[in-house]
Structure 1
C-alpha cells in the first residue's frame, strides 16, 4: 500500500484563533492540499486579540480592523469554517471531535487551538458592570460601559490589567489598578522595568494599589458599587474589570486520554498524541533549549508555533525552540521582553536612560544572561538577544544529541 502524501492529509483545527489560523496558512503555503476545517465556538472569523485592550478599547479602531484577514484572503485558504459550535469531546484513536450541536468531525490530523478563558472572582458574574476582557464580544461590552464614565477599578496588575488601565486613563477615566504584585507587571518586566511603568501610570493619573487582593465585590440592585480589598479598604466602582489570569480551554478534553496540566501537554514538536497537536495559548510544550515546559500567551508565539506545527504535520518538523518574547504597547510606547526578566538577580542598563523612558536592560542570573527588556528601543533590544539565542541553540543541540 502506498503511504499517504502528508500534503493530502485532512486537517481539523479546533479554534479559529491566531494560532489556528497561522497553522492553516502555513500549511497552504507549504503545499498542503487536503481538506481543511475549523470548528470554533464563537461566531466571529479569526481576529487579533492584542488590540482589544488598546486600540479597540480606546475607540481608535472599530471591529473591522481587528479581523486578522479579510474575506477574500480567507477564501483563498479553501477552508470550511464551522462557527458557533463548541467542541465537547475528542476521540483520539479516530481523531474525531464531537460538538455541542451533536455533530462529528474526523480528520487525519487534529490541531487544538482553543486558547484560554478568563478567570473570574467568586460572585463577580452576578453583578452588572463587572467585565473580563478575552474576546471581541468582551471588548465591545467593556467599551460601551466605559463610555458611561464613572470610576473604573481594574483587578489584576499583570500585562492585561496594566494595558486596560493605561487605555482607560488616556480616555480620561478615573482609574484604579489593584494587584497582588507591588508594582504593575513585576512578574513580566522585573523590578526595574516595573518601577518605570508604575511612574508612567501615576503620571497619567492611575491610582496604584499593589500588594493587595480583592476580598469581595459589593453591589446594589444587581450593579457593582464597591470593591473591598483584603485590608478592608473599599473602592468606589461603576465598572470593574477582572484581569487575574486565565484558564486553558481544556475541559472538553478531560476524557480524551491526552495529558492535561495547565494546558495540553505536548512534546518538543508540539505533539499531544498520535496525529494530534496543540498550538497557541492552550499548548504546554517541552522546550528542549530551556529544559522546561512552557505555555506562552502571546500573539508572537501563536504565529511562530503555528508554523512549527504545520511543518510537523507535513513531515518536515523540528523541535520548537523559540526565544520567549512578548510586547506591550502602553502610553504610546512599546515595551518588549526577550527571555525572562523576572528571574534576574542582576539587571544592567546597557542603552538609553530610564528617566527618558527609552532604554534597554539586560538581566542575568548567576552570571548568565537570561533576559532583555527594551523600552521604546526595538532595534537596540533585538541586537542584545544574541547571547540568549546562542544559549538556546547550544542546549537544543545538546538535547538532540549527535546527528545520525
Structure 2
C-alpha cells in the first residue's frame, strides 16, 4: 500500500473509542488542543525546537484528505516517514522536540487516568456486578443461595390412599374419633401377597413390603423394615425381636381373639408406628431402646384364660418413648393398663410417655417398681384419659419414679399426680 492510499479505520480502535465514551473523547480533544498549541509556537518561531533542519513551508496538501485512525492522523503525503519520529504520534508532535513530546505524554497519561476514574465512579452497581460477590469472581465460584426450607414429609394415608384417622385438634392431637394423626393400619391392603421368605432373619438389610404373614417371624440380627404388611394368625407371638434393629410401619396385627394368642410384638431396638393391633392380650412388650408412636391398640382379647390385658408393656431397659398412640383395652380379659411400666426383671430408666389417648384398664397408666429394682426418670406429659377404668386413671409407686408430670387430663379436666 502506498502512503497516499487511505487507511481504513481499525475496528478494534473504533470499539475502544466507543467503549470508553465521553471521558476519552474529552481526553482526545485535550490532546489535539495541546498539539495545536505546540504547532502554533513552532510556526511563530519558524523553527522546529526539536529538529536540526528548517520546518518545511510547503502546504500540507494531504492533511485535509488524511484519514483518522482512532485518535491519530496520517502523515502528509509529501513528507516521508521520519525514522526518529514514531508514526503513531500526531503530525504536530512529530515536528517538536523530545522534551515537548515527553511533557505531552505525561499530560495524556494523566488525562486518561482521570477519565478511567470518572468512568468507574459513574458506573452503577449493576454495571459493575458480574454475578456473585467480588471474592467469588476472584476464585471463579458462585455464591451459594441460602438453604431452602425442608420439604415436609406427608404422613401416611389410609387404605387405597384415602385420608386415615381423625383430623387433629388445635393441640395437634386426635379428634373425638380417637385416631392418631396420620392414621394407622395398612396403607394399601389390595397390594398384599403371601410372604415366602425365611421365618428367621439372622443378619443383613431387609425391606419387607406388601406381605401377608401367616406364621411367626423371628429377627436375631440385621436391619429389617416391615411395611404395609399383615400378621393375622393364631400363635403365642407374632413377631419376636432378639437382636438387630427393626422398624414396623403401616401394618396390622390381629391375634384372632384366641386362647392361644398372647402378644403381637416383643423385643428391643424397635420402632413401631402407624400400625393397628387388635384381639391380643398384650400388643407390644418392650425390652429397651425403642419408640412406639401413632398406633391404634383396641378390641382386646376377650377369651384368653391365663393372661391379663395390657396395651404396651415395658419390662426392662432404658431409653424408650411411647407417644401419640390411641389405646383402648376396655372389655379385655382382666384389663391391667393401657401402658404398664413395671420392673419385673431389671431396672428401668429414661422413659417418655406423652400425647397418648387412654381408655380402660384397672388403671390407664401403671408405673411400679418391683423386686427391689430401680425405676427412674419417667416423664408423663400431655396424655388424655377417658373413662371407664376400674380403680383410677393411674397407679404410680413410688411417686419419685416420675420426674415430670405436666399437661395430663381426665375427660378434659386437668389430672394431677397423686
TM-score, length basis structure 2? 0.23
Higher relative contact order (Cα pairs below 8 Å, separated by 6+ residues)? 1
